[in-house]
Structure formats: C-alpha cells, structure tokens
Amino acid sequence: MIATGFSFAGATISGQLILSTPVFAAADLSESAAGSFWISILGVVGFLFVYAAFMRRLRRRAVKPPETVPPKAGTFSSVELERYSRHIMLREIGGEGQRKLKHARVAVVGAGGLGSPALLYLAAAGIGMIRVIDDDRVELSNLQRQIIHTDSTVGQNKAESAARAIRFLNPHVVTEPIEGRLDSAHAEMLDDIDIVLDGSDNFATRLLVNRICIEKNISLVSGAISQWEGQVTVVDPGREAPCMECLFPVQPSADLVPSCAEAGVMGALPGIVGSMMATEAIKVLTSAGSPLHGSLLIYDALWGETRVVKYGQRPDCSVCSGKRARLSS
Ligand SMILES: [Zn+2]
C-alpha cells in the first residue's frame, strides 16, 4: 500500500516514505532493496547479452579475405602455373588460352543464383578482372542456392559479398563490385568489358543487357532459371549470330515469367545452369569448341533432359539487324 519499489522512481518514493513512517521502515527497506537487486541483475544480464552480440559481430568481421595479388601482364608465376595446370594441359586451352583468361575483363550482372556459381568458376579459372553488378542485399532465403554468399554475409550488398568470396578463392583475380542496378542510364557499367554474363532475374533487364552488349560490341552469355528448368544462350555481336530479341521479339508479360521468389526454384538448378554460363564464357574467351551462338540450350532437371533449340537472326530485329547494317557500312 505504501511502496512498490520496482522502478527507480518507485524506489525513491519508498525511500521518502521510510523517513516519514518509522513503523513500516524495515519492511519498506527490504522491499526496496529487493527491487534494486533485481534491477541490477537485469542490468548485468542485459549488458552481457549486448556485449556477447557485439563480440560475435566483431569476430565475424575480423576474418578478412587475403589481399589481391595484382596479376603481372604476360607472365605466370610458378604459383599461377600450378594453380591453372589442369587448364594448361588441355589442348583447347593450353598456355595461350590461360593467358587470354588472365587478360580478360568479365562482368557478371546479378550475384544471385546464376551469378554465384558462374562467379566462383570464373574466379577459379583465373579471369584477370571480374566486375560484379548487383544492388540487392543477401537474405537468408537466398542461401538455399546462392552459394557464393554465407550466413555471415546476410544483410550485405551481394556484389560486395561476392567480391569478398572471390578474394578468398583466388587472390590473383581483381574484383570490381558495383552496388547498383544496371539500367539504360548506367550502361557505362559495362564499359571496357570483353564478355558479360547475365544472371538477372527479370526479362526486362535481360533484354536491356542484350541491347547494351550489341551496342557496345560485347559478347553476352545469357541464362535464366525457373522452378526445375534452365536456359543458356550466347550472343556474339561480332559474328552473324542472332541476339536475345531475335529469340524473344515480344517481351512476355510478367505473370508468364514469374521470378524465383514467386514460383520457387530447386536449389541445385542454378548451380548447373550458372556453371554452363561460366563454361560458355571460357569457351568464347579461349576460342575453344563451339559456343551456343544461335542456340538455346534448355535443361529440364526434373526429367534429366537437355535439348538445344536453334534460332536465327530476324531481319527486322530492332536491336541487332540495325547494328549489323551500321557495322557493314
Ligand atoms: Zn536481334
């Protein structure tokens, strides 16, 4: 009735009442002391909890990737020769092909499901410079398939997170992470690039990347996935090969091509399709084999089937036919 004492204010009030009412002094004092005791305990527990969380965060940040070793033009160190020896012994790549990879400048649009394996394999292959473009942040639901990111990079920008993983994998690769979205106003993001791998998650960006690549004369490897099925094709503006708009002259409506977030995707599928994209890029850069020019490779993971659909250049294509006319004039 006189003192509650479960707050600092209550403790002060009870202290004043103790002075004016000596009969209840002993009981009030013990209640007040008990209140202060529990407040102190809660304070200590709270402090320890915050301190432990802070230390966990500090420890995570303390694991830094190694510094990039700038590649020396033209020559391979003994460490690089050993690292790339299984490439160098391949007749289709050899020392000359590996040198082309070392001097290559590659951009990957989207460090998500397709970008993750593509980036890792490109970095492991010894690409000289890899530019990663993504404005998104790593979310917990990404980790089921976006294997370049880890639990400790949740919340980070994907381009930064991917560049960090690349430095851990191969310190001989120079990375240029760009936190931003590729749109028509920022086409300069693809300047000074030899080949682009597009792993973006929407059709509008895919066609935009195609248009920029044709305009800037950059080779393009384009990939897409949904649920259990994936597709890969290669566009080469320097050849008589069709482009993405020859393949898809009419952009399908958004509800016909739902994103992975809307339709779901089997986790290992982007691993397969993204690795195919890295393979096509390595083939283009080293002139090995026959890239998927004018061919759409479709992989159906549910039934374990692969088929290739040929497509040709449309004479009325608003993107590549005009470009070819300009090039030939
Ligand atoms: Zn075209």
Mean pLDDT per 10-residue segment, the chain (329 residues): 38 39 49 76 82 71 70 82 97 97 98 98 98 98 97 97 97 97 94 97 93 96 96 90 92 73 91 98 98 97 97 93 56
Task: Answer for the pair 134, 112: CB distance below 8 angstroms, yes or no.
Answer: yes
215 CA distance to ligand 1 middle (Å): 11
Tell me the sheet residues that pair with 12.
none
Q: Which of 165, 170, 322, 308 is nearest to 246 (CA)?
A: 322
Q: State the pairing for strand pair 229-235/305-310.
A: unpaired
- What the block records as the tokens of 283 is 């083939």
Helix (H, G, I), strand (E, B) or coil at 8: helix
Read out DSSP for 183-197?
A: -GGGGGGGTT-SEEE
Residue range(s) of every CATH 3.40.50.720 domain in the chain: 78-328
209 CA distance to ligand 1 middle (Å): 13
Name the CATH superfamily, with its identifier, for domain 78-328. Answer: NAD(P)-binding Rossmann-like Domain (3.40.50.720)
Catalytic residues: 260
pTM of the entire predicted model = 0.79
112 CA distance to ligand 1 middle (Å): 26
Please report the pLDDT score of residue 22 as a whole number: 44
319 CA distance to ligand 1 middle (Å): 5
Please report the pLDDT score of residue 239 as a whole number: 74
∠ CA(172), CA(173), CA(176), 5° rounding? 145
The residue type of 167 is R
53 CA distance to ligand 1 middle (Å): 54
Please report the pLDDT score of residue 9 as a whole number: 38
The structure tokens 């992989």 sit at 299
Please report the pLDDT score of residue 41 as a whole number: 82
22 CA distance to ligand 1 middle (Å): 95
∠ CA(123), CA(124), CA(126), 5° rounding? 70
Helix (H, G, I), strand (E, B) or coil at 127: coil
